[in-house]
Structure 1
Amino acid sequence: MTLNMFENVHKPNPSDEELNAQRNWTRAYIVVLIVIMASVIYITMLSYQTVTTIVDKPTLDEYANLPKSADCLCTNLSIPYRTFINFNPQFHEVCKSHFIELNGKWMSLLYDSYKYQRFNKRNLRTFQRMALFHFQAIQAMCRMVILAVKNELTLFLNSTLTTVEILESDLFEKKINATINNFCLNTMRSNFLYSLQLIRNMYSGNGLISGLTTNWYPVVAFKATIGTIYMKAQKYNLSSCNCATMPACVESMSLELNSGSNWTVPGMMIGCLPLESMLESTLECIYDQDCLNTITETLLNEPIRPLSSARTRFKPINTTKLITIASELFIEDWGIEFAYEKYFTSCQPKTCSYTSSERFRIKDSMGTIFTIYGGICILLQFIIPIGFKLVHKCFSRRTRQITAMDTS
């Protein structure tokens, strides 16, 4: 009742009228201040505030705890794939087996057999005569594939991943998997198969003659000092396929047993050219110990151990042709490894920032409330007295007018 916030220090003994006015100002001041501050606090508590948080040089653990909306700009925009991706391709077992070793037991056995039979025209299409070139074609194909894969991987790993902002781990994994799949299944396979098909088209389109006379053989009509040698196309598969019109003609390869009968070698084909017949063959015989025993017993050599069927993904073995394996680049497993940690380190994010909307953050809300409180207090100290004086002046004038009217 006696509180006076507008006491004039220069006038310690004010009149009763002034003292009552100052106390009324104080009461109005308190009421208005409470109403305004209650409204400010209510609005501040309900309103959302946007806060920007900046993290300098975040570590991987710190980045993992940031919200997904965080923006982290990479210092290095172009990152070579080799910094975080590693390839360790595992090739088909035949490409590193004793069956294609140049000076190995198997190739030596086939060479001795060919050397013994090469002048025997009757045995032109037997295993003894043609198996050496069949496995030489496999050896050449493996060498060609390994070199192609090595060169393509070098080009790919030296190319770069360009990102302005660092990728989240799940998005990074999806992007890299898609890139690798596109590279392995499309780019690399297409380049290799294009080269392979180019070679096949080149010798078939130009009518090249094999030195083994497997696609064309000479025909001498009569002996003469100067004469013409005619070439005649070989026929396969009971003469139903002619190398003149179909360079990919093949038929089953047979082994001439010691008894003089022929035994069909499972999966192995012979045709116009060793490469074509190899691509149409399967590898089932070199996975079968009984098949290898039949061959080595006929060629008078010690047994050869087979390949393990558990080490290949190309199954079933007896129906999977080498053209299918070649189209998969003879690769059993790409051995792909990529590390998000290395990518994060290479990106080197300098700062990460994110915004959040929060309701009634104590620190910011209290700062806002006290700032407004200070301003309102100062403002009310000027407005309240002026407002009361204006109101009092208006009422006094109104009262004088009414009094004058009553008097008249």
Structure 2
Amino acid sequence: MFLVSQCSLTQQSIDNDKNKFLANKLVALEGMPFSLFQAQIDSFTAGHIAQTLGKFYRTQPFIYETSRANQLLTVLQTNWQIAYISAADNYVVATVSRITSLESFSRPLYIDANSNTTVLPGVVASCLPIDGIRLSTLECFYDSNYILNLASIASTRSTTIWIAKPLNTSTPSIYPASSSIGSIVDSLFVEDWGIKSNYSSYFASCAPYSCSYKYIDHNTILYIIATMLGLYGGLVVILRFIVWYGWRMYRKIMGWMQTAPSSTSARVVPFQPTIHIE
């Protein structure tokens, strides 16, 4: 029942925080490239996971410490036992701690039937049942015989017995059989958070009107040599064209100047002086 209740609480906590997370919006002044988009998503999801884990983890110790501070008795009376006082003490009902030493605070749980001791692997008995469960592992839940042994313990204190089915060892899981139940609960029983992002949908929703990019490249020695050879070849072709056709044009102009007829003739006008009489 503890695992069922814890699983239900973790599922409720995850659903509440998931709805708050999905209500957030990613706002940017300009379209982000895929690398920046993925970095933003990773940052948001990491913060969401840490916040969800931290919120649930802070609630659990508060409940545990409240039970310890108020000396609340468990049904099995594994932490405190009732001590009935005599008339000299006004018949006050007192509670006496059942912890006799630090070694008895938590220990492996075993069954002693007909002088045959059977140790239940991974099952720990502690001051509070919840502490024992958190320190225990799921090792014995992979074996039906150990599950029946646990049921026999419960049958002495309860009229309703629920026998669980053995866990399947072939089912893949990130939690090995030696993982404590407390660590699994603190991880909210999550195998994979299943965070997925879709950059194509983001780009389609926030498509920019224009895009620009820069391509930065460094010239290698081979690129420089090839460029110089190409420049040299181009200059050779251009100079050949200029010199050859320039020389031919020069010769044509000189030949035309030598063969052109003279179109002007010189005429001598005698000088005639003029005299002005006033």
**Structure 2 residue aligned with 1:241, among 79, 88, 102?**
102
What is the deviation of 1:260? 5.4
Distance 1:280 1:347 in 2: 50
Distance 1:356 1:230 in 2: 80
CA, structure 1 residues 205+346, in 2 after alignment: closer, same or farther (shift >3 Å)? farther
Distance 1:303 1:183 in 2: 37
Report Cα offsets for 1:225-258 as digits up to 9, x if no partner.
x6111210012xxx32399xxxxx322222344x
> Does the residue aligned with 1:285 lie in a helix, a strand or coil?
helix
User: Is the aligned partner of 1:281 residue 2:136?
Assistant: yes
What is the deviation of 1:282? 0.6
Q: Which residue of 1 aligns with 2:266?
A: none
User: Is the aligned partner of 1:154 residue 2:10?
Assistant: no
- 8 Å contact from structure 1 (residues 296, 304) kept in 2: no
Distance 1:293 1:274 in 2: 19
User: Is the aligned partner of 1:314 residue 2:175?
Assistant: yes
Distance 2:31 2:2 in 1: 48
Q: Which residue of 2 aligns with 1:267?
A: 122
Matches within 5 A, 1:182-201: 182-184=47-49, 186-201=50-65
**Structure 1 residue aligned with 2:42, among 144, 158, 177?**
177
What is the deviation of 1:296? 6.3
User: Is the aligned partner of 1:206 residue 2:70?
Assistant: yes
Distance 2:22 2:181 in 1: 29
Distance 2:214 2:184 in 1: 55
Distance 2:184 2:73 in 1: 27
Report Cα offsets for 1:47-88 as digits up to 9, x if no partner.
xxxxxxxxxxxxxxxxxxxxxxxxxxxxxxxxxxxxxxxxxx
Q: Aligned AA for 1:171?
A: L
Q: Which residue of 1 aligns with 2:260?
A: none
- 8 Å contact from structure 1 (residues 234, 242) kept in 2: no
CA, structure 1 residues 302+272, in 2 after alignment: closer, same or farther (shift >3 Å)? closer
CA, structure 1 residues 242+205, in 2 after alignment: closer, same or farther (shift >3 Å)? farther
> Does the residue aligned with 2:191 lie in a helix, a strand or coil?
strand
Q: Aligned AA for 1:324?
A: S
Q: Aligned AA for 1:240?
A: S
Distance 2:83 2:126 in 1: 20
What is the deviation of 1:294? 5.1
Matches within 5 A, 1:293-308: 305-308=165-168
Q: Aligned AA for 2:135?
A: E
Q: Which residue of 2 aligns with 1:139?
A: 4
Distance 2:180 2:151 in 1: 23
Q: How well do the aligned residues superpose, as a CA RMSD in angstroms?
A: 3.1
- 8 Å contact from structure 1 (residues 266, 284) kept in 2: yes
Gaps of 5+ in 1: 1-135, 244-248, 358-408
Distance 2:197 2:213 in 1: 31
Q: Aligned AA for 2:102?
A: C
TM-score, structure 2 normalization: 0.64
What is the deviation of 1:303? 8.3
Q: Which residue of 1 aligns with 2:226?
A: none
- 8 Å contact from structure 2 (residues 71, 80) kept in 1: no
Matches within 5 A, 1:68-107: none
**Structure 1 residue aligned with 2:194, among 335, 350, 354?**
335
> Does the residue aligned with 1:162 lie in a helix, a strand or coil?
coil
> Does the residue aligned with 1:218 lie in a helix, a strand or coil?
strand
Q: Which residue of 2 aligns with 1:251?
A: 107
Percent identity (aligned): 23
CA, structure 1 residues 353+261, in 2 after alignment: closer, same or farther (shift >3 Å)? closer
Q: Which residue of 2 aligns with 1:354?
A: 212
